[in-house]
Amino acid sequence: MSAVPQSRIQYQTMRETDVAAVIAIEDRIYEFPWTRGNFLDSLRAGYTCWVCHDGQTLVGYAVLMHAADEVQLLNLSVAAAQQRRRHGARMLEFLVDNARARKAVTMLLEVRPSNTAGRQLYANAGFRQLGVRRDYYPAATGREDALVLALDLWSKAGSMSRRLDL
Ligand SMILES: CC(C)(COP(=O)(O)OP(=O)(O)OC[C@H]1O[C@@H](n2cnc3c(N)ncnc32)[C@H](O)[C@@H]1OP(=O)(O)O)[C@@H](O)C(=O)NCCC(=O)NCCS
């Protein structure tokens, strides 16, 4: 699959009118998808919700919760037909930049041990495992653990730009 030119990619704040298209993707890519209510609650709670367009279609979306200097990445998804074109990696980069701009210090997330794509994506971005939440997710047979991952947003070059901002 070839990568979509970055010039065509746009990130916009998710609106309630986007939720139907978001759900159409969500239902297709997760065995246990978020509901329409989960997305509407996130929007109404003031969580940071993004949609990513390639000029023609919705390719992905993300939901984050900022609390003090932490940001939790609650949902990062790419439409089935758009996967493996670097949208996920670029969206994550955008979210990290945005979290830094908001002066967050750490990005946290949970991922299923069975989610090879997600784990690899986060490992490539520098996330490290903090711990395990036992039986966190529903699974086809019983429950599945969650790996808790964290990214120090100010390691490497970022620490210098933050010091200069103060
Ligand atoms: C995880 C997800 C967001 C990745 O998005 P994507 O656009 O397909 O990923 P990218 O093309 O940007 O790939 C980035 C890296 O992720 C890893 N990756 C992506 N898909 C993968 C797959 N199917 N198997 C193994 N690794 C994969 C690779 O390391 C890849 O880098 P590489 O191509 O240089 O090897 C996407 O697969 C998705 O939406 N999955 C379902 C929802 C989900 O699991 N979200 C994360 C929940 S925590």
pLDDT at 156: 67
38-49 pLDDT, tens digit each? 999 999 999 999
From the CA of 73, give the closest atom in ligand 1: 48
**Residue 1's pLDDT band (boundaries 50, 70, 90)?**
low
Q: Whose CA is nearest to atom 31 of ligand 1?
A: 121
Distance 66 CA to ligand 1 centre (A): 24
Distance 59 CA to ligand 1 centre (A): 13
Q: In the chain, pLDDT over 70 holds for what percent of residues? A: 90
Q: Whose CA is nearest to atom 44 of ligand 1?
A: 118
78 Cα distance to chain centroid: 9
124 lines ligand 1 (CB under 6 A): yes
Distance 70 CA to ligand 1 centre (A): 24
Q: At residue 72, what are phi and psi to the nearest 5 degrees?
A: -100, 125
pLDDT at 68: 94
Q: Which two tokens stand for residue 129?
A: 């495992």
Question: From CA 159, how far away is CA 82, in angstroms rounded?
Answer: 33
Distance 87 CA to ligand 1 centre (A): 9
List, by residue number, the catalytic residues.
Answer: 110, 122
Examine the pLDDT at 161 and tell me if it is beyond 80: no
**Residue 2's pLDDT band (boundaries 50, 70, 90)?**
low
From the CA of 78, give the closest atom in ligand 1: 39
pLDDT at 164: 35
Q: Whose CA is nearest to atom 46 of ligand 1?
A: 118
Question: From CA 61, how far away is CA 13, in angstroms rounded?
Answer: 10
Q: In the chain, pLDDT over 90 holds for what percent of residues? A: 87
From the CA of 121, give the closest atom in ligand 1: 16
86-117 pLDDT, tens digit each? 999 999 999 999 999 999 999 999 999 999 99
Averaged pLDDT score across all residues of the chain: 92
Examine the pLDDT at 166 and tell me if it is beyond 60: no
113-132 pLDDT, tens digit each? 999 999 999 999 999 999 99
- How wide is the angle at C-alpha 75 spanned by C-alphas 73 and 80, nearest 5°? 140
Residue 145 is given by DSSP the state E
Beta bridge partners of 89: none
Q: What is the pTM of this model?
A: 0.92
pLDDT at 165: 37
